[in-house]
Chains A and B, each alone.
Chain A
Amino acid sequence: MKYFGLIWRNVWRKKARTSLTILSVLVAFLLFALLNAVGHALTAGAPLSAAQRLVVIDKVSLINLLPISYGNKIAAIPGVRAVTHATWFGGYYQDPKNQFGQFPTDPEVYFDIYPELELPDGQFEAFMKNRTGAIVGESLAEKFGWKVGDRIPISATIWTKKDGGRTWEFDLEGIFTTSDPRGTTAFMLFQYDYFNEARAFGDGLIGWYVLSVADGADPVEVAKAIDAEFANSPRETDTSTEQAFAATFARQFGNIALIVQLILGAVFFTLLLVTGNTMAQSVRERISELAVLKTVGFRDSTVLGIVMAESILIMVIGGGLGLGIGWMVAQSINEALGAMIGGGIFLSGRALLVAVVIMIGAGVAAGIFPAIKAMRLSIVDALARG
């Protein structure tokens, strides 16, 4: 560390070039951050606990509804711990562009199955008591400026009411958060009983079942047992873990996600290559100067260390700034588009770790060859070159 002053001075000896190099690195890591954040949303959006939950949908298509009576039959299958259901309501708030998920469900069991969802004390009880009550996630509440006690009109695109109206009003009884960093809170839950009573059609039908398996039970076996129960009935089912369900859904975006990631990956490495080359060149230009250091008594290994520290420092400064900005941009994209693609545009700790490894690796790669060359050079030769 005693050479930090020297390294710092060296870094800034050509201010313009260093600034440009740092900015290029910044851009590269900004892209890296965005690539990972979007990739995260498209591939790993499912919460951690999703492997222990099963989703039961109609075999022909997710859009087909299932009878509510299946609930009891599923609950009786060995290995099923708790089962609830949800339905895609498909409404919007004020403007058709403000679409987000609203799900009528059985909230008591729902919260049991999704323990990562958390409501402040008293709000759950208030919600359970109010037939037309609803709860929303904090990201939605923030987006639309909702507070507990607000009356929220939701325009239905599918479910008209018995009275012919298509505006459903809900009392906001609670705002939930999630303890799972991968989860989204951009949705709304309300009472199935109210939904079923007020809707004009589809009596007794729900969208899908969600269940958690008992401790020790094999989710795959339970899934098979459920599908076997309804095989050869008029409405056959297709059961998978929530994780697999989410993965299949994400794959529907198909090659697009892959292409975007390939493009960004290519860009990232091109930028690194370009800047690495520039940095290596700047070291090459100073070989005679490094010889002077050796003349005045610096050891070979110290010279090597100083050169490497310089290029790593540039990478870390640029990369750190890029990741920081990328993190902020990812957050605002998540706000703008999160509801549409299910949330989860988010920079994971793993991505950050990978970024740091790449920064150091690229710094080493850019510095090491000229540095080794400088180290091996005999002082006389190097000085003669100047």
Chain B
Amino acid sequence: MRNLNQILAVTWLNILNLPKRLATSLVAIVGVMAVVLVFSAVVSMARGFERTMIAAGSDETAIVLRSGSTAELTSGLSHEQTLVIASAPGIRKVGDQAITSAELFVIVNIKKKSNDSEANVPLRGVQANAFEVRQNVELVEGRMFEPGKNEMIVGRAAQQEFKGLDIGSTIALGRMDWTIVGTFDANGSVSESEIWTDVRVLQGAYRRGTSYQSVRVRLEDKESLAEFVETLSNDPRIEADVYSEKEYYSTQAEPLSKFIRMLGYPITFLMGIGAVFGALNSMYSSVSSRGTEIATLRALGFGPIAVLVSTIIESTLLAFIGGLLGAALAFVAFNGFRVSTLNSNSFSQVVFDFAVTGELLVQGIITALIIGLIGGFLPAVRAARLPVAQALREL
């Protein structure tokens, strides 16, 4: 109990003294703040991207691609094959109609609003059941495209990120003009980065004959995937790979999120080390500038433990302040920040928002506290070991 009182007293004294050591304390705070800010910024980028990709995937929807293709863009299926796929068991039905959508996934050059430079925007040709095979997509403005016409609907994110996609505007694909007639929402998922149109019209425009690239099917339930895969793999008319939509999108997300994380974690770690040095330095100079004060306290009967703990508390407190500032700044600056980038797997743009989640902020602040503890420990030991008589002589 006596120890606790002493610790509180010395800590309080340290805190009252902080303004005198403003410069070095600020240096420690700013160092930790930078670590938390950078950590949050980078990880929230990876989080946001993953969230967008994962939100797109359901395990009650399966995607069928030509065997060996790693993405829709490189796949190819004939009209006959799509019919074979649609007749396989395990697919949910409305009446006697299987819920499937054979689709074409191509790219169209459209300028980004942010830098006025051309980007690969994904353009998807879909069949009538496109909204049924995806559970999270709905039309929120305008109307659906009419089959057979040069009309398109655009995802909300694409509309905000790329030029000339407002309802009523036209875009040129080759020598044909297409009109935007509606906007759809997909719950923040990757589909929102896309433009959709009638697959038959798109086949003509991109000279794809009657070929498709993927078939999405709505399964009866999760368990029926196995039966569906089994049937297709035994059918000699078709060589296809089947993925659950969830699995497909997490594979698609992997390279970019791996890239961001490979960049982010080592940088955070390095900066953390830098911040520890900053904290160590500022605490050492704090201890050496308070040498006389500490010795006086010791002479008055305060124990070494009190001095040790109070020094650690001081540095942890500084780090905590830095951490809070960094977290707050990250949240204000980055949460919901919308960017688009090229996803190498689909070779097209994905629009996503940075996600500074609560969990991430907590991780950032824990990192700050660890930096404070490490940065405070050695100086604290030195403070506690300060020879009292000698320090007092220096007075």
Contact of A20 with B by CB under 8 A: yes
A107-115, A144-152, A260-268, A371-379 - interface stretch: A260-268
- Taking a contact as CB atoms under 8 Å apart, the answer to whether B281 and A20 are in contact is yes
What is the chain A residue whose CB lies nearest that of B274? A27
Complex contacts, B239 vs chain A, CB 8 Å: 164
A71-79, A129-137, A154-162, A291-299 - interface stretch: A154-162
Secondary structure type dominating chain A contacts: helix
Report B251-292 residues with CB < 8 Å from chain A CB.
255, 259-260, 262-263, 266-267, 270-271, 273-274, 277-278, 280-282, 284-285
- Taking a contact as CB atoms under 8 Å apart, the answer to whether A255 and B174 are in contact is no
- Taking a contact as CB atoms under 8 Å apart, the answer to whether B344 and A341 are in contact is yes
With most chain B CB atoms within 10 A of its CB, the pick from A160, A267, A273, A337 is A267
- Taking a contact as CB atoms under 8 Å apart, the answer to whether B284 and A17 are in contact is yes
- Taking a contact as CB atoms under 8 Å apart, the answer to whether B175 and A63 are in contact is no
Report A321-378 residues with CB < 8 Å from chain B CB.
329, 333, 336-337, 340-341
B9-17, B107-115, B295-303, B309-317 - interface stretch: B107-115
Partner of B70, one of A27, A157, A234, A329: A157
Given A251-B115, A252-B349, A281-B23, the answer on whether A61 and B41 have CB atoms closer than 8 Å is no
B79-87, B95-103, B189-197, B335-343 - interface stretch: B335-343
Contact of A270 with B by CB under 8 A: yes
Report B120-137 residues with CB < 8 Å from chain A CB.
120
Extra contacts besides A31-B267, A267-B38, A271-B31 (10): CB < 8 Å: A24-B277, A38-B263, A61-B107, A63-B107, A99-B70, A252-B341, A254-B112, A271-B271, A275-B277, A337-B259
Contact of A274 with B by CB under 8 A: yes
23 A-B residue pairings within 8 Å (CB atoms): A20-B277, A61-B108, A64-B106, A164-B239, A236-B175, A248-B118, A251-B112, A252-B119, A252-B120, A252-B349, A253-B341, A254-B114, A254-B339, A263-B41, A266-B34, A267-B271, A274-B30, A274-B31, A275-B278, A277-B24, A278-B281, A329-B266, A341-B344
Q: Count of chain A residues with Cβ under 8 Å from any Cβ of B?
A: 62
B34 to chain A, nearest CB (A): 4
Complex contacts, B229 vs chain A, CB 8 Å: none
- Taking a contact as CB atoms under 8 Å apart, the answer to whether A254 and B67 are in contact is no
Contact of A259 with B by CB under 8 A: yes
What is the chain A residue whose CB lies nearest that of B375? A20
Q: How far is the CA of A96 from the CA of B260 in the complex (A)?
A: 20
Contact of A59 with B by CB under 8 A: yes
- Taking a contact as CB atoms under 8 Å apart, the answer to whether A155 and B68 are in contact is yes
Contact of A80 with B by CB under 8 A: no
Complex contacts, B271 vs chain A, CB 8 Å: 27, 31, 267, 271
Complex contacts, B305 vs chain A, CB 8 Å: none
Binding site for B on A (CB under 8 A): 16-17, 20-21, 23-24, 27-28, 30-31, 34, 38, 59-64, 90, 92, 96, 99, 155-158, 160, 164, 166, 201, 232, 234-236, 238, 248, 251-256, 259-260, 263-264, 266-267, 270-271, 273-275, 277-278, 281, 329, 333, 336-337, 340-341
Given A248-B117, A256-B339, the answer on whether A63 and B285 have CB atoms closer than 8 Å is no
- Taking a contact as CB atoms under 8 Å apart, the answer to whether A20 and B45 are in contact is no
Partner of A24, one of B66, B263, B274: B274
Complex contacts, B42 vs chain A, CB 8 Å: 260, 263
With most chain B CB atoms within 10 A of its CB, the pick from A21, A252, A266, A271 is A252
Partner of B259, one of A27, A34, A64, A340: A340
Given A30-B270, A60-B174, the answer on whether A255 and B347 have CB atoms closer than 8 Å is no
With most chain A CB atoms within 10 A of its CB, the pick from B68, B255, B259 is B68
What is the chain A residue whose CB lies nearest that of B67? A166
Q: How far is the CA of A333 from the CA of B284 in the complex (A)?
A: 36
What is the chain A residue whose CB lies nearest that of B338? A255
Q: How far is the CA of A264 from the CA of B285 in the complex (A)?
A: 28
- Taking a contact as CB atoms under 8 Å apart, the answer to whether B106 and A337 are in contact is no
Q: How far is the CA of A64 from the CA of B106 in the complex (A)?
A: 9
Complex contacts, B273 vs chain A, CB 8 Å: 23, 27
- Taking a contact as CB atoms under 8 Å apart, the answer to whether B107 and A62 are in contact is yes
Complex contacts, A21 vs chain B, CB 8 Å: 277, 281
